[in-house]
Structure 1
Amino acid sequence: MVSVINNHCLRKVTGATKTTPLNTLAALSGQEPLELRLEYVTQREIARYISWNNTVAKQLKAIDIPTKIESMDSYTYMERLFYKNKEMFNSIMIVCKLNGRVTVDIQTHLEALDTAKQDTNPRKLKQAALFAMNGVHKGRGRIYTDASKDGTACAIGVYIENTKQRLSYRLNNETSITSAELKAIRVALDCVEDQHLKDFVIYTDSRTACVMLDSVQHSKEGEQMLVEILDICYKWNISVQWIPSHVDIKETNATPDRNRFDSAVFQDDIANIEDEKSKLRTRGNSKALRIYPSKLCHREGGFHP
């Protein structure tokens, strides 16, 4: 029934006749095949259930999976998709509660900066960053974090000023730049715990990461890694300060060197739900392109969601 309604709508939009083949109809309208759309939407919902670790997620994880995939005819469509991508779904971070007593100093702006970064003179950006370091955070240890992405390759870097320790890691999974920045902060906090670095300030050039942490702090719940970051910051009295990137302060350069990664790859066993949904979207687009690559009407960002 859904496919009939969908095809009728596409004919109305494109002006195609009833004799137009369905794959051509979808291609003319820039739409992916309905079965691929259904697969993407269902998997997106599964990812959301896993993130919230609700009743549906627990039921999916408790499924008694048969040894042969041919024996799954008696399972629901959602259960079959979960089994097909079980490894990916099990890597998604769940939403956790934050201890109500946890309060962390997170600064998403610079006091001396009253204009947008792109509209501000680089010299003023540098002065604003130095004002924060030598003003409100004067006398505190400094840790700088950064992340970079080149195509599908992602890397993170950490620099601890007091010990002159510099770390660079290549992530074993593709991720968004914001998620990579958060993972860099998490690695920095591992150093804090290992070296007992109390009363330090972590400087990051990702304002979005700072905003996400501050949002979790106020809502008292968020993804597992964000809650862990706030818990460790609270334990060791760590502040998180946003500073603009490329402000020509030599000490702030924690950019990972793609040519000199540490021999150990950062084993990234948990994933952000938005990253996984993006991968599902990309995978669906790739499948559709294989079905009718020569006829497809391309649109920026892929098919219509």
Structure 2
Amino acid sequence: MNIQNQTRVAEFVFLGFSGVPKGQMYLFLVFLTIYLVTLIENTTIVTLIQLDSRLHSPMYFFLSHLSCLDVCYSSVTVPKILTNFLRQKPTISYNQCMVQMFFLMTFAGSECALLAIMAYDRYAAICQPLRYSNLMSSQVRVPLAVFSWLWGLLNSALHTSLATNLSFCGANQIDHIFCDVPPLLKIACTDTYVNEMTLHLASIFIGLSPFLFILLSYVYILAAILRIRSNTGRRKAFSTCASHMIVVFVYFGMANLNYNRPSAGYSLEIDTLISTLYCIMTPMLNPLIYSLRNKEVKGALWKVLGLQGKESTSNWLKA
């Protein structure tokens, strides 16, 4: 038999939701709702930051990039999942799979770097307030934002180029809900040692290093918060930091389980849950945690909606 016929796979079949054949329409509605909420939240934040001059600060500059990343991140996977639900045929062509994997890993790597940069921004604002304007000037924050996008792009280019050299020998059933490196390595019939070592090494530099940097930044931030004399201010700061850290732990924790799990020991259901949490739920939660709870963002939203008077009345009643 021709080698090309043995190794060339025209399409892949996703098995992630194969255990719920009668619940496809309910899952479609759930994922559609999550996707629409994600788009509305993140596009609203980007629009508000662009329209309101009070939000033209380094923190909101990075938040706008995070919202753009979350829209892209979610759009790489969810539309294809929704299409497959409607078609009742969970498949993807080989070329589409490679493209999906490329952009997925680009945005995932970029988000890791951007979350670390945002943690540094908060560290500079809280622990170095007198130097903050210099530490986060436009000459600094713009290159940092560009670096976060390039960080993910280079990581993705490396993994995708290695994945295109894999042979699958007719095996085309992926134990996942979208195309990613680990499930593809699982069904490849060629030696995947280089791919696996590259994946583990990249997870240290792309995932673990930013995570440790974030933890270190928040150690300094929490130390500064403990010096706040006002109990109210301290509680508010702790609440904000705790919500940020929850998102960070969920995102990096699920990503680590996804890219560094052993070859055996995880069920298809657990893999699907992990992927849904870090790749689909996180883009919806980020705006709620990082932006929509901020007074400045809510004030800008009231202003755009023409309800600024209502906001002032609400603040007067709270006072």
With the shorter chain as reference, the TM-score category is under 0.3
The structure carrying a bigger helix percent of its residues is: 2
Greater gyration radius:
1
